[in-house]
Amino acid sequence: MTEPRQHTAVFGLLARELIANGKGFRFCARGQSMWPTIQDGDILHVEPIRKSPRIADIVLFVKDGEFKAHRIVGRRGRYFVTRGDTGMEIDGIVRREEIVGRVVSKWNANIGEVSSLGHRDRLRFLALEIQKLARRKLHRPFITLLTSCLVLLALSSSGQFVRAQSIGGVALDNTSSMASKTGGGGCPAGAGTTFVCSLNHTTNNVIGSTGLLVVGISLNLNGN
């Protein structure tokens, strides 16, 4: 978001006065630097920051006379590192005093819908960041599994799934693949294009009926 210089000064005075008195305010975002999280024309709701800003928070800050609403992606001592969601490089290193408030929600005028930019948005962003990092160092199957687990964590934290409980691990049998179980012959049952495969596994008593078992399947179609 960038405003003409004469408007920026007035906006800054009003914004800081409202925040200092514990009140929030709304303003219209301009630009595409936070796409797709925030789109040009969205109305952003800013609230005072009660505690220290956290990684993945979207904050409104002033730097070199300009106000921006970007995401915190890191810390450097007393400073906060910011970046737009569409960017690959950091665009600002700001002090706590330069941060006006936290963006907590947005209103999309095109569809008339209010969306929260709180805890669930932070988890979604962190999941995407871990996925980007994993692409550079890990194999694709592990990336897919890691991303799926992070998405499940985000949904459970937002209340769409049962609240996560402390559970034990999953004890798998000592068979590492279907090929070793069947002597390299593939699935032992089935005909035509339909096959029935099974792998035995055990879980400990701590999990009970609330556990989630993630199973990965790979197919070799070269030999039909």
Indicate the domain borders of the chain. Answer: 5-117, 118-165, 169-204
Residue 45 bridge partners (DSSP):
26, 105
Candidates 20, 21, 45, 42; CA nearest to 33 is 42
CATH class of 5-117: mainly beta
Per residue in 42-100, pLDDT (tens digit) is 999 999 998 889 999 999 999 888 899 999 999 999 999 999 998 888 888 999 999 99
**Residue 90, exposed/middle/buried by CB under 10 A (0-12, 13-18, 19+)?**
middle
The single residue listed with the structure tokens 């932070």 is 122
Check: CB of residue 44 under 8 Å from CB of residue 106. Answer: yes
Residue 148 has pLDDT above 70, yes or no: no
Confidence of residue 27 (pLDDT cuts 50, 70, 90): very high
**pLDDT score, position 10:** 87
Confidence of residue 196 (pLDDT cuts 50, 70, 90): low
Look up residue 103 and give its amino acid.
V
Residue 44: CB atoms within 10 A of its CB come to 22
**pLDDT score, position 107:** 94
Residue 194 has pLDDT above 70, yes or no: no
Structure tokens at 99: 């941060």
43-47, 51-55, 204-208, 209-213: which has the highest mean pLDDT? 43-47
The single residue listed with the structure tokens 């070793």 is 180
Percent of the chain topping pLDDT 90: 35
Least confident of 22-26, 42-46, 71-75, 157-161: 157-161
Residue 14 has pLDDT above 50, yes or no: yes
Confidence of residue 162 (pLDDT cuts 50, 70, 90): very low
Mean pLDDT calculated for residue range 111-138: 80
Residue-averaged pLDDT of the chain: 74
More confident residue, 132 or 165: 132
**pLDDT score, position 136:** 63
